[in-house]
Amino acid sequence: MAPVSMERDLRLDLFRGIALWLIFLDHIPSNAVSWITIRNYGFSDATEIFVFISGYTAAFVYGRAMRQHGFVVASARVLKRAWQVYIAHVFLLAIYLAEIAYVASSFDNPLYTEEMGVLDFLKNPDVTIFQALLLKFKPVNMDVLPLYILLLAWFPPMLWLLLRAPSTALISSAVLYVLMWFFEWNLPAWPSGTWVFNPFAWQLLFVFGAWCALGGAQNLSRWINSRFVLGLAIAYLVFAFCIAMTWYFPRLAVYVPKFVGEAIYPIDKTNLDVLRILHFLSLAVITVALVPSDWPALKSRIFWPAIVCGQHSLETFCLGVFLSFAGHFMFTEVSNRLFMHVAVSVAGIAIMVAIAAMLSWYKQAERQGGGPRPPAARPGLAGGDA
Amino acid sequence: MSWRVLLLALLVLAGPAWAELPAECGVAAHLVENSYPLPKVKRAIAAKKLNILVVGAGSSQLPGANGEKNAYPARLQQALVDQLKGVEVKVTTDIKATRTAAEMVKALPPNLAAAKPSLMIWQTGTTDAMRAVDPDQFSQALDQGINIARGASADVVLVNAQYSPRTESMIALSTYSEDMRWVALQQEVPLFDRFSIMRLWSDLGTFDLYSATKKLDIAERVHDCIGRLLADLVIAAAKPPEPPTNGSR
């Protein structure tokens, strides 16, 4: 097992913070500003970044706990975290139900009688709310936290294996991914269908992140830093970009050879298509090449807003989901002009930064004023969350 | 959004091309791409008798006493009658609210046998998205329906979901829209992109689709425009293939 660096890599917080902003922008329906987000220029989107970095930081934080305090204590902490995420999910659900109920009572356009049928579940809230608590009913854009809950709940044994036999752990995760494709495993959803983010698929990225955190990244560094791999990554990003352009300019689609189209479509987000993984890895390789971990700018004020959001990822994520509801509400109730789209997007990110900064301050104040607490009780490092 | 405005400016310059369309419909005419030929329609128009079957769910109808007369299938028939002089045009419908693609496929064989259409216009996707039907099953149902229609010697045009800004945060359309686009491409069937058309109308302020009105006027104008744009697609398909310039294929 390679030695693990003890200092938190600020790049993780930076890119997780940026991913959280992008997820927020993408979650506001019809948001004109979301054309800047990466999902429009290639196969993968901010979800991959978020899941990978979450795996990385989970291994970083709880891996240390497991080495120092053993399996039981570390597992208890991971499960406590999963419980916190569950509570956050239920909280967001309450806000969502309030929004839906408002729309149901105020909107009755005859053009949309069919679409209003989506509100029918309000007629039997007993079933709906129960299914939501079981994580089977997940409203639009509320699929990430249930995935995160499952990944955390299943993380203790995986972490145990990762600490003892990292390669075996990574291979078993990959085998699970392959078996998922082979047998079409997924969890059932309500009222029909399956999970939008298939946990059997997305666990691969989470475990890969964890594996990198526990020394895998160092083992890979010879590959990551090679010019050949960098060239491949750039070529792949260019390819993905060209394909993405045909989505917006259908006339270009005729230039995509038929066999290429048949090979790549459909690009499956639910089951984390291999094309998406490759796209994420290419982005990661290029990022590592461009942004060294000791880059002084990482400590400058320019990147602080994104870093502070990345350090409080759960709170910022939940806030982002709430703000995207609120932003959509502004579009429907106040104005739908371009100015409003920009104003809502900028204001939303500013609120995310402000709340994250407040949480940082609060955590510090609590630590200083709360009397001597045993350091072991702190789950995070340097104010960071898993 | 700004590129849409730019496009609009270009379109206004090119205006006379859609002189027969009301301006409010015309701003979206460039989104109606006749990407694939409709040979059966062409033959039917040449033979002066065009039967069309519209298969759809709730977003193909309007409520109220005049709902059927003002919904897009009837407006399509009117637009075709006006423009195809001397051709006997008959639009029949199989429209029931809240049906998934698979449910519509089941009703196809008898309806195709009864209507004997040269063209099946198939509106679907919304209900599948609302019920979160397995996307694979949705794609399979689309393939199946298109094959059944072809077996009954009808051309097919797919119509995707409406743009509905108020319910956008509640219905995850994107997977189903992408599946429809992909099936259309693979099967070489035109896709009438109702979603993008309505979205453009909303962005440009042509129609206020956010409005919480209970009145039918906007809904009727939207359906009228959809009917006219569909008619354009049908007529373009029957035009002689001589001018190959500027075509998408």
For the question of an ipTM over 0.90, the answer is no
- Band (pLDDT 50/70/90 cuts) for residue B18 is very low
Q: What is the pLDDT of residues B27-42, one digit of tens each?
A: 888 888 777 889 999 9
Q: Looking at residues A46-62, what average pLDDT do you find?
A: 94
Radius of gyration of chain A (CA): 22
Q: Chain A within 8 Å of B130 (Cβ-Cβ)?
A: yes
Dihedral (CA of A149, A153, A157, A163) sign:
positive
Query: What pLDDT was estimated at residue A286?
Result: 93
Q: B190: alpha, beta or left, given left = phi > 0 and alpha = psi -120 to 50? A: beta
Phi, psi (degrees; rounded to nearest 5) at B217: -60, -45
Element (H, E) at B93: strand B88-95
Phi, psi (degrees; rounded to nearest 5) at B94: -130, 85
CA A27 and chain centroid, separation: 12
Q: Judge contact between A91 and A321, C-beta under 8 A.
A: no
What does the block give as tokens for B4?
A: 């849409």
Dihedral (CA of A12, A16, A19, A25) sign:
negative
The Cα–Cα gap between A26 and A40 comes to: 10
What does the block give as tokens for A280?
A: 């994420």
- Band (pLDDT 50/70/90 cuts) for residue A176 is very high
Q: pLDDT at residue B15 above 70? A: no
Counting Cα atoms < 13 Å in the Cβ hemisphere of A12 gives 27
CA nearest to B124 within chain A: A114
Spans of all domains in chain B:
32-236
Q: Which residues of B touch A332 (CB under 8 A)?
A: 165-166, 210
Q: Which residue from B63, B133, B215 is facing A193, i.e. has the nearest CB?
A: B133
- Mapping DSSP to helix (H, G, I), strand (E, B) and coil, where does residue B246 land? coil
CATH number of this structure's domain B32-236, picked from the four choices 3.40.50.1110, 1.10.150.20, 3.40.50.10860, 3.40.1350.10: 3.40.50.1110
Q: pLDDT at residue A93 above 80? A: yes
Q: Chain A within 8 Å of B214 (Cβ-Cβ)?
A: yes
Q: What is the pLDDT of residues A291-347, one digit of tens each?
A: 888 888 888 899 999 999 999 998 999 999 999 989 988 888 888 888 999 999 999
Q: Which residues of B touch A338 (CB under 8 A)?
A: 1-2
Q: What is the pLDDT of residues A249-294, one digit of tens each?
A: 767 777 788 788 778 877 888 899 999 999 999 999 999 889 888 8
Q: pLDDT at residue A8 above 50? A: yes
The Cα–Cα gap between A181 and A371 comes to: 52
Mutation for A interface: B103, B170, B186, B201, most A CBs within 10 A: B170
Q: Which residue from A106, A115, A254 is facing B249, i.e. has the nearest CB?
A: A254
Q: Which residue from A118, A191, A193 is facing B170, i.e. has the nearest CB?
A: A118
Q: Which residues of A touch B2 (CB under 8 A)?
A: 338
Q: Judge contact between B168 and B202, C-beta under 8 A.
A: no
Strands B155-159 and B119-123: parallel
- Band (pLDDT 50/70/90 cuts) for residue B112 is very high
Q: Which residues of A touch B248 (CB under 8 A)?
A: 250-251, 254
Phi, psi (degrees; rounded to nearest 5) at B91: -105, 120
Q: pLDDT at residue B13 above 50? A: no
Q: Looking at residues A8-14, what average pLDDT do you find?
A: 88
Q: How many residues does chain A have?
A: 386
Q: What is the pLDDT of residues B226-249, one digit of tens each?
A: 999 999 999 887 775 544 444 443
Q: Judge contact between B162 and A112, C-beta under 8 A.
A: yes
The Cα–Cα gap between A219 and A4 comes to: 11
Find where tokens 């009117």 sit. Answer: B78
Residue type, B119: L
- The neighbouring-strand residues paired with B121 are B54, B157
- Band (pLDDT 50/70/90 cuts) for residue A381 is very low
- Mapping DSSP to helix (H, G, I), strand (E, B) and coil, where does residue A382 land? coil
Kindly state the DSSP code that residue A186 receives in the 8-state scheme: -
CA nearest to B4 within chain A: A32
Spans of all domains in chain A:
10-377
Q: Is A112 in contact with B164 (Cβ distance < 8 A)? A: yes
Q: Chain B within 8 Å of A270 (Cβ-Cβ)?
A: yes
Q: pLDDT at residue B222 above 90? A: yes
Q: Which residue from B97, B133, B248 is facing A114, i.e. has the nearest CB?
A: B97
> Starting at the edge strand that comes first in sequence, how are the strands of the sheet with B119-123 ordered?
B88-95, B49-56, B119-123, B155-159, B191-192
Q: pLDDT at residue A367 above 90? A: no
The Cα–Cα gap between A247 and A240 comes to: 11
Closest-CA distance, B118 to chain A, in angstroms, reads 26
Q: What is the pLDDT of residues A219-245, one digit of tens each?
A: 888 888 889 999 999 999 999 999 888
Q: Judge contact between B60 and B223, C-beta under 8 A.
A: no
What does the block give as tokens for A353?
A: 């930064």
